[in-house]
Amino acid sequence: MKIKVAKEAGFCFGVKRAIDMINQLPERFPDKKIYSFRQIIHNPQEVKRLKEKGIDTVQSLDEIEKDSIVIVSTHGITPTEQNILKDKQLTFIDTTCPYVKKIHNIAHYLARNNYDILIVGDKHHLEVKGILGYCNGKARVISSSSEVAKIKLSSKIGIIAQTTQNIQTYKKIIFNIINKLFKTKQIEIRIFNTICDATYKKQKETEQIAKKSDIMIIIGGKNSANTRRLYELSKKIQKNTYLIETFKEIRRDWFKNKKRLGISAGASTPDWIIEEVIKKVKEFSE
């Protein structure tokens, strides 16, 4: 069986940067307790590895002891949460992805200039919750083009997207918004392509590999938005697509009469997990 692994599989720039920063912390602060405010990345195995290094994940800032080190996750936080960290005089290490910070700046600009802001993304996702904090209550979140018909739109709109959003979904929503407002006499729409370049490349490459494979494996946290989108894109093309977090979920019968396996992985999936999967698959194909 031939195995094709996506070149873009695994850690994106933002996650790699964050993990590199975090790996240095126990040595930099040997006498300090280190906390992660919410999951650093959406990968349970990597979070477990960091816990073994003494980094605990908390969901509330009230759980953090004084004189501790606090890691801000790659998804970012709201200005209010930043102020709480400062008021508590906690040392915090900001691993927010630079692409997410860029969206914060855009959202702040749009809110300051009285635009109604539409965020295309998952309203429950930590990244989107952080972005909303910069919108001064002037934003709403939508996740599908069908929602456009149901919402009231002003004549001054700014549109931004969650970094891991599907590019085709984003384009369709933008098209529907423009089409809805086309007859308005005076209209201003500012559109920002805030989808991470790595996200777009991963999605495109995954689709290309799926077209040439008779089985696909997508590796990543099942709570990861970008991993889930890779799975959905692949599944549309290749019905024999499986989403796994580790090699332990792989089943031998998946590969019966299969000749071409494609593998892709989400932005929060470390290389060591991908390598374990490849090793296991090779054992099954021997």
Catalytic residues: 127
Q: Is 126 left (phi over 0), alpha (psi -120 to 50) or beta?
A: alpha
In angstroms, rounded to a whole number, what is the distance separating the alpha carbons of residues 163 and 161?
6
In angstroms, rounded to a whole number, what is the distance separating the alpha carbons of residues 254 and 15?
31
Q: How far is CA 267 from CA 1, 83, 230, in A?
A: 26, 29, 10
Residue with tokens 């989400």: 266
Number of CB atoms found within 10 A of residue 244's CB? 19
Q: What is the 3-state secondary structure (H, E, C) of the chain?
A: CEEEECCCCCCCHHHHHHHHHHHCHHHHCCCCCEEEECCCCCCHHHHHHHHHCCEEEECCHHHCCCCCEEEECCCCCCHHHHHHHHHCCCEEEECCCHHHHHHHHHHHHHHHCCCEEEEECCCCCHHHHHHHCCCCCCEEEECCHHHHHHCCCCCEEEEEECCCCCHHHHHHHHHHHHHHHCCCCCCEEEECCCCCHHHHHHHHHHHHHHHCCCEEEEECCCCCHHHHHHHHHHHHHCCCEEEECCHHHCCHHHHCCCCEEEEEECCCCCHHHHHHHHHHHHHHHC
